[in-house]
Structure 1
């Protein structure tokens, strides 16, 4: 891995917290992701399943974590199963985890090779009554591929039909949504790398550059700072491309007078950052662009102040809608008749601001979090209002990542990334 080793006490704590919520006489199993094929002998770069990483720090394919708090033999209460390395693998693929190295990374003392899993799992299941399966229940999930977890669940239900089963996901949703200080440090590093990328492109952009050239500049800076690259597919949208919310082609030339909306973020140690900035190609906002920019900035600042313990996600978005309605009235994009005649299920402001303002962020860009439960300290949210005006040929979105505090306003992990219009113009024209 490119990132520095994470202190194993994070993963020890995460396992302890998870096992504290398991039912009596139960086992939980977590699988690595598959390596997905592209074609012929090509595969996509491996991405570890975030749940097994969260609980073990193991960032390697063909790995299994088993948790059994009441195992008769204490050594089997936390167990890792790893793909056995050999000289051939070492030559062709490089270093894999040894048993000793796996302990250093995870804090799990008992490590077996994967070929031993079936035998040991059967022995432990004879002592257990319930098996926890790790299903994906994220509110945005739309997975159509059968995963390694899916196959494991199917096989285990057939082999052990008399066992009860339970779901790991509700426990993980709550645990992962509240960040440990070590996690916040890793997310800060991801945001700091994103800052370096943004400052790099501010001195690079000028009329005539192509969106993909900007993407390349970000990638260069991310890689040289120990990131694998983008935390998600980057959006580099100049001109009216910014009005396509998930524009990812990044293949247009940036023209004099245009704005560029950039929604990008570096990952670090599998943790995400998520930034949006909108800047002028020529280094100077027009009067109208600046007017809209300042309105979005005000909405972002006011929305951020609402992210405090006890806030409910749904009510928060209603209040942000009121802020945006006021901003759009001030810009002349809506009038009082629009508000009076609006559909309550699709308020008038949605014509120019059609997406949500905030989402959890962490190991996943759209991270775990139960939306109907009140916000808590150390949850991390994005704040990303936008105004999109196709008829005027531009869209503006501004976004930071913030940590909810026990008292006071959230702490902005992107506080050092330029966002004030004057600061952006000054840097671009220096």
Structure 2
């Protein structure tokens, strides 16, 4: 792995917290993600299942984690099964974890090779009354391929039809929503790399550069900082492209007078950063561009004040929407009558600000967590208002990542340039 090792105490504590939520007689089983094929004999880069990583810190394919807190044999209460290496694997695939390395990394004492799973499983199932299995239950997930989890669920239920099967995802969603100090430290590193990449871009962008060249500058900064790369597909959108919310083709040339919308973030140790900025390709905003930029910045500043303990996402989005309405009226994009006569289920501001303002952030960019849970200390949310005006070939979105604390919140990206004057000054060099 490229990144510096995380403290094993993180994973030890995560397992402890999950065990406290499991009933007597419980067995929980977690599978690594598949290695996804492309064409012929090609494969995509491996990305670990976030729940398995959260509980073990192991970033290796074909791994299985078993938690059986009430097992009669103490060595069966936590077991990590790993792919056993060989001379052939070493030559063709590279290095794999040893048992001692896995113990050090995860804090799990019982490490077995993967072949032992089929031997140990019957004994564990014999003791278990409830079997907790994992699946991707993210509220926005669309899963069109059969996952390793799905295949395992089918095979296990076919072999052991009389057990009581339960979902572990809701338990993990509740735990992962609150970030520990070690997780925050790791996310700060992802954000540091993201800030470095943004500063690099400010010195690079000028009329005539291509969006993909800017993407390459960002990737350079990520990889040299021990990141695997972007936490999600980078959006490098100039001119009218910035009005397409999930524009990722990044294949246009930047033109003088355009605003360039950037939405990107580094991944570090599987944790994500998520940043959005809008910068003038020519180095200076036009009066109208600056007017819209400042409006978005004011909405962002307001929204940050509402990301506090006790608020909830529905109330929060309603408050931000009302603030955005007033800014859009000032920009002559809405009229007061539009707001007065609007359908409450389809507010007028959505024409220019069609997406939500915030989402959970963590191991996933749109991290797991119960959407309607009240804000609590330790949650990390993005804050990303935007205004998109296709008729003006203009889209501006500003986004920082916010840690909710017991006394308010902390902007984890406060040191990344945001004010228009600073951006223009840095672009001038």
The TM-score, its normalising length taken from structure 2, stands at 0.99
Query: Following the alignment from structure 1 to structure 2, what is the Cα–Cα distance between the partners of residues 403 and 165?
Result: 35
Query: Following the alignment from structure 1 to structure 2, what is the Cα–Cα distance between the partners of residues 426 and 373?
Result: 41
> Map of 1:243-262 to 2, 5 A cutoff?
243-262=243-262
Secondary structure at the counterpart of residue 158 of structure 1: helix
Secondary structure at the counterpart of residue 120 of structure 1: helix
Query: Following the alignment from structure 1 to structure 2, what is the Cα–Cα distance between the partners of residues 340 and 11?
Result: 52
> Map of 1:348-387 to 2, 5 A cutoff?
348-387=348-387
State the 1:104 CA deviation. Answer: 0.7
Deviations 1:304-350 (A, max 9, x none): 11011111111110110001001101111100121122111110000
State the 1:78 CA deviation. Answer: 0.4
Q: Name 1:97's counterpart in structure 2.
A: 97
Deviations 1:260-318 (A, max 9, x none): 00000000000000000000001100000000000000100110110111111111101
> Map of 1:151-166 to 2, 5 A cutoff?
151-166=151-166
Q: Name 1:314's counterpart in structure 2.
A: 314
State the 1:352 CA deviation. Answer: 0.3
Q: Name 1:304's counterpart in structure 2.
A: 304
> Map of 1:219-230 to 2, 5 A cutoff?
219-230=219-230
Deviates more, 1:135-144 or 1:38-47: 135-144
State the 1:373 CA deviation. Answer: 1.4
Deviations 1:23-49 (A, max 9, x none): 110100000000010011100000000
State the 1:57 CA deviation. Answer: 0.3
Q: Name 1:391's counterpart in structure 2.
A: 391
Deviates more, 1:182-191 or 1:365-374: 365-374
Q: Name 2:130's counterpart in structure 1.
A: 130
State the 1:372 CA deviation. Answer: 1.5
Query: Following the alignment from structure 2 to structure 1, what is the Cα–Cα distance between the partners of residues 373 and 196?
Result: 35
Q: Name 1:14's counterpart in structure 2.
A: 14
State the 1:54 CA deviation. Answer: 0.2
Q: Name 1:47's counterpart in structure 2.
A: 47
CA RMSD between the two structures? 0.6
Secondary structure at the counterpart of residue 103 of structure 2: helix
Query: Following the alignment from structure 2 to structure 1, what is the Cα–Cα distance between the partners of residues 389 and 278?
Result: 14
The TM-score, its normalising length taken from structure 1, stands at 0.99
Deviations 1:5-25 (A, max 9, x none): 111000000000001100110
Query: Following the alignment from structure 1 to structure 2, what is the Cα–Cα distance between the partners of residues 164 and 13?
Result: 27
Q: Name 1:412's counterpart in structure 2.
A: 411
> Map of 1:334-345 to 2, 5 A cutoff?
334-345=334-345
Secondary structure at the counterpart of residue 377 of structure 2: coil
Secondary structure at the counterpart of residue 80 of structure 2: strand
Query: Following the alignment from structure 1 to structure 2, what is the Cα–Cα distance between the partners of residues 376 and 143?
Result: 30
State the 1:118 CA deviation. Answer: 1.1
Q: Name 2:215's counterpart in structure 1.
A: 215
Q: Name 2:59's counterpart in structure 1.
A: 59
Deviations 1:39-95 (A, max 9, x none): 111000000000000000010000000000000001110000011111111122111
The number of equivalent residue pairs is 429
Query: Following the alignment from structure 2 to structure 1, what is the Cα–Cα distance between the partners of residues 372 and 306?
Result: 16
Q: Name 2:275's counterpart in structure 1.
A: 275
Deviates more, 1:340-349 or 1:419-428: 340-349
Secondary structure at the counterpart of residue 127 of structure 2: coil
Q: Name 1:234's counterpart in structure 2.
A: 234
Query: Following the alignment from structure 1 to structure 2, what is the Cα–Cα distance between the partners of residues 133 and 174?
Result: 16
Query: Following the alignment from structure 1 to structure 2, what is the Cα–Cα distance between the partners of residues 422 and 51?
Result: 42
Query: Following the alignment from structure 1 to structure 2, what is the Cα–Cα distance between the partners of residues 259 and 157?
Result: 55
Secondary structure at the counterpart of residue 65 of structure 1: strand
Q: Name 2:427's counterpart in structure 1.
A: 428
Please say if 1:327 is aligned against 2:327: yes
After the TM superposition, which segments of 4 or more aligned residues of structure 1 sit over 3 Å from their partners?
Answer: none
